[in-house]
């Protein structure tokens, strides 16, 4: 009888011990979240992201999961992993399209794409994606201070896209495909009327129209160059071209 009692007591103790080692999923998620915070404070961004991914994948607290998702996106951005940050922000917006932090998230998404913008002679997908995010921010939150900052970046995006069109337009001009050059250059002018190098744009448009046989349009573009940019470096060459055509 005593042996049976001792056996039962030992079994109960072992079961209690095993049970005590288990961590409730909720507590585990909270612990991982706090762990991520500590890693972040030490600039251990990779470890912080790994901890928050465990929280995100736990599915026990919607609010905590949501916060972990946002922390992951922010940490990718802070650590200059902009491509991953953009994906994380986009995923967050798909899951939580009406989140109260939407303005900030759209701004960060735009910045994540903006930081990946390439030179004018390369693909401009990042420029277009940044422009899309910034325009959405401005449209939905026109009075937000971040929209004011985004407006400036929108102008820079338009200028980079125009610069790309001018680059391609010049290529067509050199290749003798004058109508394609005109199309590209006119697109740049239409989309970025305040283009940084507008005198250059007028010059190449004048050239393209002249080579395409449209002297009236050529003179119109060259005249805008003369009137709007009297100190431009392109003036002398433009006058020379017109004199040769006279």
Average pLDDT over residues 196-204: 97
Query: How far is it, in rounded angstroms, from Cα 206 to Cα 242?
Result: 10
Give 211-228 pLDDT, tens digit per residue.
Answer: 999 999 999 999 999 999
Q: Maximum Cα–Cα distance for the chain, whole Å?
A: 123
Non-local CB neighbours of 52 within 8 Å, separated by 6+ positions: 32, 33, 36, 68, 69, 71, 72, 75
H helical segments located in 102-191: 102-114, 125-140, 145-175, 178-191
pTM of full prediction above 0.75: yes
> Which two structure tokens, joined as six digits, stand for 81?
């992993």
Query: How far is it, in rounded angstroms, from Cα 47 to Cα 35?
Result: 9
Compute CA distances 172 → 93, 129, 143, 176, whole Å.
40, 26, 42, 6
Q: Where residue 246 falls among pLDDT bands split at 50, 70, 90?
A: confident
Q: Where residue 27 falls among pLDDT bands split at 50, 70, 90?
A: low
Give 70-83 pLDDT, tens digit per residue.
Answer: 999 999 999 999 99
Give 7-21 pLDDT, tens digit per residue.
Answer: 333 334 333 434 444
Domain spans of the chain, in order of start:
26-81, 197-246
State residue 245's pLDDT score.
82
Neighbours of 35 (CB within 10 A): 17
The alpha carbons of the chain give a radius of gyration, in whole angstroms, of 30
């Amino acid at each position: 009888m005593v042996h049976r009692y001792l056996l039962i007591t030992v079994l109960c103790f072992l079961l209690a011990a095993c049970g005590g080692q288990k961590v409730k999923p909720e507590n585990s998620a909270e612990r991982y979240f706090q762990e991520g915070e500590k890693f972040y404070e030490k600039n251990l961004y990779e470890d912080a992201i790994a901890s928050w991914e465990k929280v995100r994948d736990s599915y026990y607290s919607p609010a905590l999961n949501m916060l972990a998702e946002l922390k992951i996106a922010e940490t990718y951005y802070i650590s200059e992993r902009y491509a991953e940050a953009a994906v994380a922000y986009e995923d967050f917006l798909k899951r939580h399209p009406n989140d109260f932090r939407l303005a900030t998230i759209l701004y960060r998404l735009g910045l994540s794409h903006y930081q990946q913008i390439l030179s004018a002679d390369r693909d401009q997908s990042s420029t277009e994606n940044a422009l899309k995010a910034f325009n959405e921010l401005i449209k939905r939150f026109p009075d937000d201070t971040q929209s004011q900052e985004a407006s400036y970046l929108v102008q820079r995006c338009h200028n980079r896209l125009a610069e790309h069109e001018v680059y391609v337009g010049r290529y067509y001009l050199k290749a003798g495909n004058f109508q394609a050059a005109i199309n590209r250059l006119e697109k740049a002018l239409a989309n970025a009327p305040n283009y940084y190098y507008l005198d250059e744009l007028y010059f190449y448009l004048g050239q393209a129209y002249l080579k395409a046989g449209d002297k009236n349009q050529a003179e119109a573009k060259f005249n805008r160059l003369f009137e709007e940019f009297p100190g431009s470096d392109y003036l002398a060459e433009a006058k020379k071209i017109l004199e040769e055509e006279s």
